[in-house]
A and B are shown apart, each in its own frame.
Chain A
Amino acid sequence: MRKWGATAACVVTVAIAGAMAAGTAGASWFNKGQPVPDWGMQAYKTHTPDYVKDASAVILFDEYVETVDASGRATEREREAIRILKPQGRGNTCEVSYDETEKVNYFRAWTIAPDEKTYQAQDTDFTEEGDTNVPIMLSTRKYRIAHPPAADVGATIICESEEQMEPYLQEKNWQIQIGIPIVFQALEVDLPPGRTLVDSWHRQDPVKPVQSGPSVWRWEIKDEPALELRDIPSAPGRGALEARMTVQWGSAAVSGKDKQWQAIGEWVTQLEAGRPDPSPEITARVQQLTAGAPDYFTKLQRITESIQKDIRYFIVMRGIGGLQANHAADIFRNRYGDCKDKATLLISMLKAAGIQAVYVPVDDHRGVVDPDNPSLLGNHMIAAIEIPADANDPRLQAVVKGNDGKRWLIFDPTNEHTPVGNLPSYEQGSWGILAAGPASQVIQLPVLPPADNGTVQSGAFTLAADGTLTGDVDASHSGPDAADVRLILKYTDEKERREYWETEIAHDLPGVALKSFQFVQAPALDKPLEFKYQFTAGQYAHTAGPLLLVRPRVVGSFALPFDNKPRTLPIDLGATGDWKDSYDIALPAGYVVDDAPDPVDVDVEFASYHSKVASKGNMLHYEREYVVKQVQIPAEKADQFRKLEGAILMDEKGTAVLKKQ
């Protein structure tokens, strides 16, 4: 009954582990007056292993049994026993989630207290909550939550539930690893005679199932440790790191991962069939947009920017609507929709323009979708746009080649500020499903070169003898960097914007007063976004006897969090890019540079950092360039990462000494 981390990223949601289902709450679903079942008593007798001593709670037993009917629909029974080990572990309880197309048959919970007294949760010990916390989401999913009695430290919570799952999904994503350890867990799948299944694994050595009947398979795993990310800097997302397994028993239950991905892609293609059909209004709008467009890229740009600009992001999740988009005509009319809606309208408009595009289900956290683990798991939908052989515009950067040789431009219409041709940094290097009917396949989204992202920042300042620094900064943001700034501009008003930037700049310049600021946004998203501001920072330089101390790196920081602990997990660098700073500080009259930090030159395989301080006449000049070439590096490169980040941190804190002549 573990819930996949809810995210507002988008809409395409396939539950992992125990997303369970229920209809309306009836009086009988918790079955009053039942003793703790035998399996629960057996689980309770499980000794708490020594290796879980740091955990707040431990799952002693967790078993899923999926009974699949002739139509492929599963009924899922879960039995779970959780022992609370620490006060903060009390929150580890059981819940079932369900949507309109699911039904909870029963949900019971008991507690066995440390003194072996047993309690059964009554109807007053359950609550239901809607999925209504996200203001821009309309979701019909609900959660039934047990608040078992006597849930104190040392108590064991026993839960059992059964729910009829969505009729349209024929896969089970079994989450093997979570934030607390699991002593024993099992998944059993009981298929109708004659049907078969395939399993695949993510960050877990495959386990062979035991077959207890011609169509009953059971996998068991013991002693799964918790995934603890709390003190691990620059870690990939939890969903990318936790172990899981997927079982397919529908059309994707075929031999070979490529064929599984193909089947999943075909299923998505079928699910969305007809949704992107352009209405006359859409066709008319496309004709209006593309009239006079000189080339393929211009057509693309006009259509994509119209969707990015005109369609408000609003999530609608209602039953299968969590996976299936609305019709393009409705999206176009209402001017709102979620990621799959935006992808649908994009495909529709491109179709009207004679350009083929297809859906690409992904996850907005790199590493969640795993080519070795075919499934529908993911939370986002983007699109792939077929590139004609004669289109070779250099702005078409986010390109992948399908296994049939076709070139596809990967584009995310939900990200309202990353221009077509580019790709949001958080998606680069991820995997997704190219849902192109029989040509469906899993694809890796490209990692773009550093030149496609970054910021060039220059500043001209004057330092007064009392330490006050005044000056101007001009920053030019491009690619995903510019998209990030545009996003801030979109979701803030003038007052919030000023507060935001004052706070940001104050990290480097305590006491700064922002005199003015201005954003210059070109209408086209592929043009840089300029940010210019003027400030005064009192006591920026500090007197130390006859000396005046000044930090040449005036604003901006590139340093990522790091530590010196042994590393086993990959390191996420966030984004590729090229960032340059150049600052000139006019010194107060009579002062010269007496001492300055040494140049820094670090070149590692995945990044480089170069900085230097120079003085000429009454000017102190600082410049640096930081280039990141990869989005993620393996743990083995942690030493190089530390070396790089340590050098950046020290350089950013570096001080120049001015002396009065």
Chain B
Amino acid sequence: MRFRIYVAVSLAGCLALPLCLRAQFQEPTKEELQMTSDPKAPGAAAVYLYREEKTDDNLHYHSYYERIKVLTEKGKEAATIRIPYEHGVFHVTDIQGRTIHPDGTVVPLTAKPSDLMDVKTKDQQYNSMVFTLPSVEEGSILEYRLQIRYDDKWISSPYWEVQRKYFVHKAHYFFEPSRFADNLLYAYNLPEGAKLIKDSTGRFSYDAIDVPAVADEPWMPPLNSIIYRIEFYYENFHDGQQFWTEEGKNWAKTAEHFSTPGKAIKEAVAGLVAPGDTDEVKARKLYDAVQKLDNTDFTREKSASERKQEKIKQIKNAEDVWVQKSGSSDDMALLYVALARAAGLDAVPMEVVDRNRAIFDSSFLQLRQLDDYIAVVKIGGKDVFLDPGQKMCTFGILHWKHTLAGGLRPAPKGAILAVTPGNTYVQNQVQRVADLTLAPDGSVTGILRFVMGGQEALRWRQTAIRNDDDEVKKRFNEWVRGQVPDGVQVDFDHFLALGDYNSNLIGNMKVSGNLGTATGKRVFLPGQFFESHGKHPFVAEDKREIAVDVHYPERLADDVTYRLPDGFSVESSPQKATIPWPSNAQLIVASKADKNTVEIGRALAYNFTLLEAKDYASLHDFYQKVAASDQQPVVLLRAPAKATGN
């Protein structure tokens, strides 16, 4: 089921691109022509000298104007302009462009732009208008302008992506809202001190200077939530408080309507729980019942034509889901709430943002920013957050994308904004066990066992729904292969508890191959069998501009036993060590050796999810120490060969 509210006339989302019109192209200055690098953007491939976007929603156009300085070979790619738009609603017109060489030579755009279809369904079509500015070379200034027009029956508010792929020296934005729309709202994320100006006639303008390029770093929070931007939209509300109050009421009403238990639900619950069950037992039994249903987000959603032919009615409430034994993830979450209520539990639905897509923004007054439903059940006086829409999610935890996620939950007078709890590392554990027998020639055989709880187990169980057993085994094998030393082969044996989401998932494998390296007297083995590739994050880069998002906290515990052949003795093994990063993470290494075995333990736990860029130095320092510690080898001494002969 879907009861999202769309502003049918706002198509800002498909206009994330450049804009504006001027009577004439701007003549380049001597400095612009001669520029070969930009001290404000060292090493940049290109920079925007100027950008302009204007929207007049009374005259029904967006206009775009850009001047781009190409600084390197890579920057030449800026010469290809791609304008996505909704076909049949918008028209891309008045395209003009030119390339100016460093010597001032002007080469106008003469090739006809191509209108290419991106995707088309029965009801909608999205196209891209594409053109390439001619004769681009290092040092060129690329300049173009165009308009996107739309018919009188539409209104269209702009989305200004202030922060761009390249550094912006100067930008000007202007928006004249429609006279026919009552309330215009906007949300923004702008540098400190920046001001969006609204004049006495209700027109908006924003001028930007020296906007850094969008950062591209690993483990970033969703980019569309952190870039500088301004988004306008028409709404029937005056402010955030009114919006969340009124829309919260509507939201709660709709959600309540869907999850109110009807007769079939009540009858089902009577068969699922026993009168003497505790609240927790009831909650678990109902959770299991929902998990057994066909979640079409993990299998296949029936098409409209299929439903029509099968005479399957459209899902309108929880009862429909229960009767059809099938529905989407949202349907499952709301069904669970209905079942729980029918069982006498205090349960409410909550709709949250998918943290893998965006960060919830309460100043952005649009319900469409909410993605997924979860359920909140009161057990023992405490809220327990459940994710029945996530197939195979362990009872009591949320998929990480629903943790620390803002959204709406019902309240006595409608709904309130709330945030889900995060995971702790205790909930997400991976234990890797290796029992390895070394032969005198350095070859190794043995077994591996991975014990996974929390998010990692969920990931593999969900992979198993979308794929058959063989495919899951192959993928698991490939995943493990990336964790063992080069030269060691992994052959997956079997899973335990793949279908039991309330137990740890266990994967067993056999290994063989060559592990050790030798000198005349010694053999060396990796001290940390699972970390010999040294693929640690946050080690290579010593600086960071954007916050770090590791999705969820986790504890990784290794236990590796090497069984040695006769004639070998342990000369050295990894030293006992504790590397702390107070309140955030810790690495503990320990080893013990006796005559024929070496056992090495390693536990790396981190208990953060999001980390501000200012804390990156500590993170980098910690992982550097971890990376170095993981390289400690086991050193074996070979007994000298016995003398032969007399």
Contact = CB atoms under 8 A, between A and B. Distances in A.
Contacts of B44: 493-494
Most central of A149, A507, A559 by chain B CB within 10 Å: A149
Interface in A135-193: 135-136, 138-140, 142, 147, 149-152
Interface string A633-661: 00000000000001001100111110000
Given A132-B128, A149-B305, A312 B42 contact: no
Contacts of B522: 595, 655, 657
- Of the four ranges (under 10, 10 to 19, 20 to 34, 35 or more), the interface on chain B belongs to 35 or more
Given A127-B121, A314-B132, A545-B572, A119 B467 contact: no
Contacts of A56: 468, 471
A263 to B, nearest CB: 33
A22 to B, nearest CB: 12
Interface stretch (A68-76, A294-302, A328-336, A383-391): A328-336
Nearest to A502: B540
Interface stretch (B73-81, B240-248, B557-565, B581-589): B73-81
Nearest to A490: B73
B493 interface: no
A128 B539 contact: no
Contact of B540 (A230, A494, A512, A539): A512
A147 B518 CA distance: 57
B111 A511 contact: no
A284 interface: no
A130 B305 contact: no
Contacts of B572: 544-545, 547
Contact of A125 (B74, B303, B465): B303
Interface in B122-168: 122, 127-128, 130, 132, 134-137
A25 interface: yes
A341 to B, nearest CB: 12
Contact of A511 (B116, B120, B468, B627): B627
A82 B156 CA distance: 45
B73 A336 contact: no
A549 B524 contact: yes
B631 A506 contact: no
Most central of A88, A120, A547, A596 by chain B CB within 10 Å: A88
B628 interface: yes
B615 interface: no
B122 A334 contact: no
A345 B357 CA distance: 46
Nearest to A487: B73
A87 B463 CA distance: 10
A34 to B, nearest CB: 14
A542 B299 contact: no
Interface in A619-635: none
A124 B119 contact: no
Contact of B518 (A312, A495, A510, A597): A597
A605 interface: no
Interface string A111-127: 00000000111111111
B541 A596 contact: no
Contacts of A128: 117, 119-121
Interface in B516-551: 517-522, 524, 533-534, 536, 539-542
Given A138-B132, A506-B540, A650-B514, A656 B519 contact: yes
Contacts of A543: 575
B79 A312 contact: yes
A149 to B, nearest CB: 4
B470 interface: yes
A543 B489 CA distance: 29
B489 A542 contact: no
B305 A119 contact: yes
A127 B125 CA distance: 10
B536 A493 contact: no
A495 to B, nearest CB: 6
B624 interface: yes
Contacts of A131: 116
Nearest to A491: B74
Contacts of A393: none
Contacts of A490: 72-74
Nearest to A596: B519
B631 A539 contact: yes
Interface in B56-114: 72-74, 76-77, 79-80, 82, 107, 111, 114
Interface in B368-389: none
Q: What 8 pairs between A and B have smallest CB-CB spacing?
A: A494-B43, A544-B572, A539-B628, A149-B306, A510-B627, A510-B534, A122-B305, A86-B468
Given A124-B303, A125-B305, A510-B630, 12 more contacts: A124-B305, A130-B117, A138-B132, A140-B114, A152-B300, A230-B474, A312-B136, A334-B111, A493-B44, A497-B43, A564-B513, A597-B518
Interface of A: 25, 54, 56, 86-88, 90, 119-132, 135-136, 138-140, 142, 147, 149-152, 230-231, 310, 312, 314, 318, 333-336, 490-495, 497, 499, 502-503, 506-507, 510-513, 538-539, 542-545, 547, 549, 559, 563-564, 594-598, 646, 649-650, 653-657
22 contacts: A25-B120, A88-B467, A127-B119, A129-B120, A132-B82, A138-B130, A312-B76, A333-B107, A334-B132, A335-B135, A499-B541, A503-B540, A506-B534, A510-B534, A512-B540, A539-B628, A542-B632, A547-B571, A559-B486, A597-B517, A653-B486, A657-B522
Interface of B: 42-45, 72-74, 76-77, 79-80, 82, 107, 111, 114, 116-122, 127-128, 130, 132, 134-137, 299-300, 302-306, 309, 465-468, 470-471, 474, 486-487, 489, 513-514, 517-522, 524, 533-534, 536, 539-542, 571-573, 575, 624-625, 627-633, 635
